[in-house]
């Protein structure tokens, strides 16, 4: 019997994502001016207010209030009627220095012997069902909101959109786990109050989402995925009614509350640790990226059609405490999952500093991760500019999403005899 699976995404204007982006913008600025910075920065956003908190050890000093305001304005919260605007909101900084008790377990005389910044388990996942090795329902959910944000910024075809939005996609699968069709699509988008008749306004929004947004989403998908869209899809567009009050005014936002949106949409597993605002000494972040890198290269090399990788650490300890692999019965090699895990340990150095070096994680590459998912995006080089009244101007080329590179496929094939 066929089954249904659902994933959701949220827009860059969702209050939790606003908080994530502020935290990662602060992290990027710290790393740009001091690559050895240790940062754990949390953000709270609510009506007219931003609160910054956390621990930092760095040789640089930042105008954190101005950085937060720039992020908020770039997202699109620029009008007083939103009750939250980059130019007018209050910004309170409660950031203080990192505890020496934590730092002593991380910093060592030799960088190669750097200990993990915390204990815990992290997961990476990959599947062949999309070209970017991501779960299909989440991939489509991200695309819906990314294109919706483009339409909002252009302000031509749909002129009433506001920054806050969510999307959810349900896919029907066959018993052998092959996508058959899109069953349900849910889109809730914040909007201006542009019609005194609520029913007419909601009908217009539903019509625009289905007739303007969805064709653009479909056109960006491969032909085999486009075939999954039919005229039997159930659409729920702003199902609770009008959505004028939104963003941080409608719902308080916090860093790290969208960990499933950030990863695999409920596929695979999650260790519970959030990403944004954390420098790469925090294995919550760096090891999750490393596990994704491993899983993606294993699937791309043909080891299995679907793979989950778990790695765990103890705080202050250099080597991971465990590595686990699950292939869900899709393995293409004559090895048990335990034997695959042992080969993974030989192929990939998972000591914290080795992960930082291999994936170039001491660079200011994190703001780009903080909306529409940390996984599944294209690795590319960009030039970023950072300016500070205290540190001057830094312009540097960085490589984004290095954990998405298929740079270990050949080594994996050789190791597994593929």
Q: Across all residues in the chain, what is the average pLDDT?
A: 94
Does one domain contain both 315 and 348? yes
Residue 17 annotated as lining a ligand binding site: no
Does one domain contain both 230 and 212? yes
Residue 236 annotated as lining a ligand binding site: no
Between CA 306 and CA 178 the distance in angstroms is 12
Residue 143 annotated as lining a ligand binding site: no
363 occurs within a structural domain: yes
Does one domain contain both 231 and 309? no
Residue 242 annotated as lining a ligand binding site: yes
Does one domain contain both 308 and 353? yes
Residue 98 annotated as lining a ligand binding site: yes
- Among the candidates 225, 245, 265, a domain finishes at 245
CATH number at residue 182: 3.30.300.10
Per-residue model confidence (pLDDT) at position 178:
93
Does one domain contain both 318 and 214? no
Is residue 105 pLDDT above 60, yes or no? no
Residue 293 annotated as lining a ligand binding site: no
Per-residue model confidence (pLDDT) at position 391:
86
Per-residue model confidence (pLDDT) at position 118:
79
Beta bridge partners of 168: 8, 186
84 occurs within a structural domain: no
Does one domain contain both 301 and 365? yes
Beta bridge partners of 75: none
Does one domain contain both 229 and 290? no
Is residue 12 pLDDT above 70, yes or no? yes
Residue 192 annotated as lining a ligand binding site: no
Residue 258 annotated as lining a ligand binding site: yes
Tokens 């540097």 -> residue: 396
Does one domain contain both 220 and 287? no
Nearest to 7 by CA among 261, 224, 256, 240: 261
Does one domain contain both 236 and 288? no
Residue 165 annotated as lining a ligand binding site: yes
392 occurs within a structural domain: yes
Query: What tens digit of pLDDT does each residue of 229-242 get?
Result: 999 999 999 999 88
Residue 278 annotated as lining a ligand binding site: yes
Residue 166 annotated as lining a ligand binding site: yes
Is residue 202 pLDDT above 90, yes or no? yes
291 occurs within a structural domain: yes
Query: What tens digit of pLDDT does each residue of 345-392 get?
Result: 999 999 999 999 999 999 999 999 999 999 999 999 999 999 988 888
358 occurs within a structural domain: yes
Tokens 């075809």 -> residue: 157
Is residue 98 pLDDT above 80, yes or no? no
Does one domain contain both 285 and 307? yes
Query: What tens digit of pLDDT does each residue of 25-35 get?
Result: 999 999 999 99
Is residue 102 pLDDT above 70, yes or no? no
- Phi and psi angles of residue 155, each rounded to the nearest 5 degrees, phi first: 60, 30
Residue 224 annotated as lining a ligand binding site: no
Can you give the three-state secondary structure of the chain, one letter per residue?
CCEEEEEEEECCCCHHHHHHHHHHHHHHHHHHHCCCCEEEEEEEEECCEEEEEEEEECCCCCCHHHHHHHHHHHHCCCCHHHCCCCCCCEEEEEEEECCHHHHHHHCCCCHHHCCECCCEEEEEEEECCCCCCCCHHHHHHHHHHHHHHHHHHHCCCCCCEEEEEEEEEEEEECCCCCEEEEEEEEEEEEECCCCCCHHHHHHHHHHHHHHHHHHHHHHCCCHHHHCCCCCCCEEEECCCCCCCCCHHHHCCEECCCCHHHHCCCCCCCCCCCCCCCECCCCHHHHHHHHHHHHHHHHHHHCCECEEEEEEEECECCCCCCEEEEECCCCECCCCCHHHHHHHHHHHCCCCHHHHHHHHCCCCCCCHHHCCCCCCCCCCEEEEEEEEECCCEEEEEEEEECHHHCCCCHHHHHHHHCC
14 occurs within a structural domain: no
Does one domain contain both 182 and 201? yes
Nearest to 73 by CA among 53, 89, 62, 51: 89
Q: Are 344 and 335 in contact (CB under 8 A)?
A: no
Per-residue model confidence (pLDDT) at position 115:
72
Residue 251 annotated as lining a ligand binding site: yes
Identify the band that residue 106 occupies on the pLDDT scale cut at 50, 70 and 90.
Answer: low
Does one domain contain both 237 and 287? no
Query: What tens digit of pLDDT does each residue of 253-299 get?
Result: 999 999 999 999 999 999 999 999 999 999 999 999 999 999 999 99
Query: What tens digit of pLDDT does each residue of 123-144 get?
Result: 999 999 999 999 999 999 999 9
- Give the residue-averaged pLDDT of 404-415: 97
Residue 74 annotated as lining a ligand binding site: no
294 occurs within a structural domain: yes
Give the domain extent around 233.
Answer: 3-8+136-245
Total domains in the fold of the chain: 2
Query: What tens digit of pLDDT does each residue of 109-127 get?
Result: 556 667 777 789 999 999 9
Nearest to 53 by CA among 286, 354, 254: 254
352 occurs within a structural domain: yes
Q: Give me 253's structure tokens.
A: 């936002």
pLDDT above 90: percentage of residues in the chain? 86
């Amino acid at each position: 019997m066929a089954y249904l699976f659902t994933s959701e995404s949220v827009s860059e204007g969702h209050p939790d994502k606003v908080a994530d982006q502020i935290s990662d913008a602060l992290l990027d600025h710290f790393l740009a001016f001091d690559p050895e910075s240790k940062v754990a920065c949390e953000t709270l956003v609510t009506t007219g207010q931003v609160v910054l908190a956390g621990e930092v050890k760095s040789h640089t000093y930042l105008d954190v209030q101005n950085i937060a305001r720039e992020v908020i304005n770039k997202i699109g919260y620029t009008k007083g009627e939103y009750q939250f605007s980059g130019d007018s909101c209050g910004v309170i900084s409660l950031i203080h220095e990192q505890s020496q008790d934590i730092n002593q377990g991380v910093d060592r005389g030799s960088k190669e012997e750097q200990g993990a910044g915390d204990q815990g388990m992290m997961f990476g996942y990959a599947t062949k069902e999309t070209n970017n090795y991501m779960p299909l329902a989440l991939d489509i959910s991200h695309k819906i909101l990314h294109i919706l944000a483009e339409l909002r910024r252009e302000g031509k075809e749909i002129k009433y959109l506001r920054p806050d939005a969510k999307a959810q996609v349900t896919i029907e699968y066959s018993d052998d786990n092959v996508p058959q069709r899109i069953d349900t699509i849910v889109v809730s988008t914040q909007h201006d109050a542009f019609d005194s008749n609520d029913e007419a306004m909601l009908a217009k929004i539903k019509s625009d989402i289905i007739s303007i947004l969805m064709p653009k989403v479909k056109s960006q998908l491969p032909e085999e995925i486009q075939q999954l869209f039919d005229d039997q899809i159930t659409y729920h567009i702003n199902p609770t009614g009008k959505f004028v009050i939104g963003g941080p005014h409608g719902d308080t936002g916090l860093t790290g509350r969208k960990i499933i949106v950030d990863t695999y949409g409920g596929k695979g597993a999650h260790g519970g640790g959030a990403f944004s605002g954390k420098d790469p000494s925090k294995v919550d972040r760096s090891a999750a990226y490393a596990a994704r890198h491993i899983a993606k290269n294993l699937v791309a090399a043909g080891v299995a059609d679907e793979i989950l990788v778990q790695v765990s650490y103890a705080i202050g300890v250099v080597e991971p405490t465990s590595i686990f692999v699950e292939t869900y019965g899709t393995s293409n090699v004559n090895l048990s999952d335990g034997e695959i895990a042992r080969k993974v340990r030989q192929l990939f150095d998972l000591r914290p500093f080795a992960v930082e070096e291999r994936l170039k994680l001491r660079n200011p590459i994190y703001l780009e991760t903080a909306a529409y998912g940390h996984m599944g995006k294209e690795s590319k080089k960009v030039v970023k500019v950072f300016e500070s009244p205290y540190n001057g101007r830094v312009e540097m080329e960085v490589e984004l999403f290095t954990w998405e590179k298929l740079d270990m496929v050949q080594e994996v094939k050789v190791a597994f005899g593929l």
